[in-house]
Chains A and B, each alone.
Chain A
Amino acid sequence: MIKALFTPALLSAALISGSALAADYDIDPAHTTVLFKINHLGFSETVGRFNTFNGSYSYDEAKPSASAIEVTIDAESLDTNHDARDKHIKSPDFLDTKQYPEITFKSKGYKGSATQGTLTGELTLHGVTKDVNLAITKVGEGKDPWGNYRSGFNGSVTIKREEFGVDQMLGGIGNDVTIELFVEGIRK
């Protein structure tokens, strides 16, 4: 009888303590990069990045499955090191950033170890939301020289732009877009 009463209570306590241990981090834009690359005519990969974004994540080394991340990217901050091309990619031909100014990713679950795994979540791009799986690798964590606690991860996912309604010039510009995240966060 006592065991029956205490087991759920102990389980709840364990769960609560688990989530309490999960640390929340703010993404540090100065040490975070959101890159994408796309094939050009079958000859090369063109690389671009988004310069403005914000977000936060939770990470607990002891319970990696509780990890979560939310990122919002300013689509207007796209930068491929070519002004005319940037303007074209931001136009209604591709990202239509005036209509869809934000790209967001919100995780739904994580599978894997504390250092490597797959983060599943919803990517909203060009007004279309789809589930994607990010391959995540932990780079490291610890205190910086100023006493802030930091952790860092790399993530990568390849999406088909056509599935997000970005289907112009599929003949010459690849359908596969690889998005790479290099994230560093400062613990709150």
Chain B
Amino acid sequence: MYGESVSPLALLLPAAVYPMLAAIASGLIIYKLEQHKRDRLLFWLIPLLFFLSWLAGATGIHSRWQFPPARAMDWLLVASLLPVLATRLPEQIRMSGFGVSCLLAFGLIAQPLVSRMGGVDLFAQIIGWMLICGIAISSADRQKNAALFPVSLIVMIVMSAVVTGISSSLSIAQLIGALAAVLGGMWLLNRLVAISASGMMAASQAVMALWIMVQAYAHYYGDVSIYALVILSAPLLWTWDKQAHLSIKQLIRTVAISLVPGLLALWMVWPEQSLY
């Protein structure tokens, strides 16, 4: 952006390479455990492994990460585990449980902001986020195609990284990019070894939960337009045909459908002045 001498590799390693490698390693663990029918263990392990895969990149991006958390981004890297695990709640309470866990997690991340918010504003934000989280998890629950849904999600995540990078913060864009790398790594591995559809969907939902948290962070701390973020996330509402097999034609169709709202969002946030 500034033509600075920071090497592109240094930016790429934590945002793409480390999380992707960690996701591939996680995928192999899942594959092996699935072969040994360790379903109960896998139920909670899948979201945890993908959270850790993202953390492998995120701690490189937020190199001042500290525990116990002191700053908002420290909290983001810890509290995001809550909604990730909430994606595994029983179906009848998943929607509300996921919404509440997102709010709890973001309450921790947004402590400095919450303390400055008025009562009405806070109430409106809570209702808004409960709605967004509820719609997101119920849409993800409706998905049955374990090959196309992750592709759509990866495209949306990449577009949100671009939108965030262009309109606000490179480090948040990297955090979002790391999510695309995690899901991309798992998706690529799934081309080589057969991971179950339920495993792939669980991984996708875990990544989606993280994505919601990082987007909320981008909106509140990076001032990224909420309208742009909601528009680029609209393809979540699209239910991919369960019977559709992965083919070049299907892949192009999926990418195109998922890309168009992202391009609209990018147009919305594109700065009037030239980039600097």
Knowing A99-B112, A169-B2, A173-B4, say if A84 contacts B223 (CB, 8 Å).
no
B271 CB to closest chain A CB (Å) equals: 4
Binds A, one of B97-105, B119-127, B163-171: B163-171
A92–B72 CB distance below 8 A: yes
- In the complex, besides A82-B273, A99-B221, A169-B4, 19 extra interface pairs with C-beta distance below 8 angstroms are A41-B4, A84-B167, A88-B1, A90-B223, A92-B73, A92-B171, A92-B221, A96-B221, A98-B72, A98-B112, A98-B220, A99-B71, A99-B112, A99-B113, A171-B6, A172-B2, A172-B5, A173-B2, A173-B4
Question: Which residues in A have their C-beta under 8 angstroms from that of B171?
Answer: 92-93, 168
Cβ-based interface call for A85 (8 A): yes
Question: Which residues in A have their C-beta under 8 angstroms from that of B168?
Answer: 87-88, 91
Summarize B's interface: helix, strand, loop or mixed: loop
Size category, B interface: 20 to 34
Knowing A92-B172, A93-B170, say if A165 contacts B64 (CB, 8 Å).
yes
Q: How far is the CA of A168 from the CA of B64 in the complex (A)?
A: 11
Knowing A82-B273, A87-B167, say if A98 contacts B113 (CB, 8 Å).
yes
A41–B223 CB distance below 8 A: no
A39 CB to closest chain B CB (Å) equals: 11
Residue of B nearest to A80 (CB): B276
A85 CB to closest chain B CB (Å) equals: 5
Q: How far is the CA of A165 from the CA of B171 in the complex (A)?
A: 14
Question: Which residues in B have their C-beta under 8 angstroms from that of A48?
Answer: none
A127–B275 CB distance below 8 A: no
In chain A between 71 and 129, which residues have their CB closer than 8 angstroms to a CB of chain B? 82-85, 87-88, 90-93, 96, 98-99, 101, 127
**Interface residues, chain A, with chain B CB atoms under 8 Å away:** 40-41, 82-85, 87-88, 90-93, 96, 98-99, 101, 127, 165, 167-173
**Mask for B258-276, Cβ within 8 A of A = 1, else 0?**
0000000000000111011
Question: Which residues in B have their C-beta under 8 angstroms from that of A170?
Answer: 6
Question: Which residues in B have their C-beta under 8 angstroms from that of A87?
Answer: 167-168, 223
In chain B between 229 and 276, which residues have their CB closer than 8 angstroms to a CB of chain A? 271-273, 275-276
Knowing A91-B223, A172-B2, say if A84 contacts B275 (CB, 8 Å).
yes
Q: How far is the CA of A170 from the CA of B63 in the complex (A)?
A: 14
Knowing A93-B169, A93-B171, say if A98 contacts B6 (CB, 8 Å).
no
Question: Which residues in A have their C-beta under 8 angstroms from that of B222?
Answer: 91-92
Residue of A nearest to B73 (CB): A92
Question: Which residues in B have their C-beta under 8 angstroms from that of A93?
Answer: 169-172
Cβ-based interface call for B68 (8 A): no
